[in-house]
Amino acid sequence: MSTWWSGLLAGWGLEWAGFAWPWAWTLLPLPLLLRWLLPPRRSARAALRVPWDDRLVALAGTDGGGRGGRWLLPALAWLLLCAALARPQELGPAQAPPRQARQLLLAVDLSGSMSEEDMRLGNAVVDRLTAAKAVISDFLERRAGDRVGLLVFGQRAYMLTPMTLDLATVRQQLRDSVAGLAGRETALGDAIGLGVKRLREQPEGQRVLVLLTDGVNTAGALEPLKAAELAREERVRVYTIAFGGEGSVFSFFGVPVQAPGQGEAVDEDTLGQIAAITGGRFFRARDTAELAGIYAELDRLEPVRVEAEPVRPRIERYAWLLGAALGLALLAGALGPGRRGGQA
For 37-96, how does the pLDDT look when each residue is reduced to its tens digit (9 = 90+)?
A: 877 666 555 555 555 455 544 544 444 444 555 778 888 888 888 888 888 888 777 776
pLDDT of residue 278 exceeding 90: yes
For 164-219, how does the pLDDT look when each residue is reduced to its tens digit (9 = 90+)?
A: 889 999 999 999 999 888 888 899 999 999 999 999 888 777 789 999 998 888 88
In the chain the domains, ranked by start, together with CATH numbers, are: 2-94+312-335 (no CATH), 103-301 (3.40.50.410)
pLDDT of residue 91: 79
Residues in Cβ contact with 195 at an 8 Å cutoff, skipping those fewer than 6 apart: 105, 107, 151, 209, 211, 231, 236, 238
Q: Tell whether pTM > 0.85.
A: no
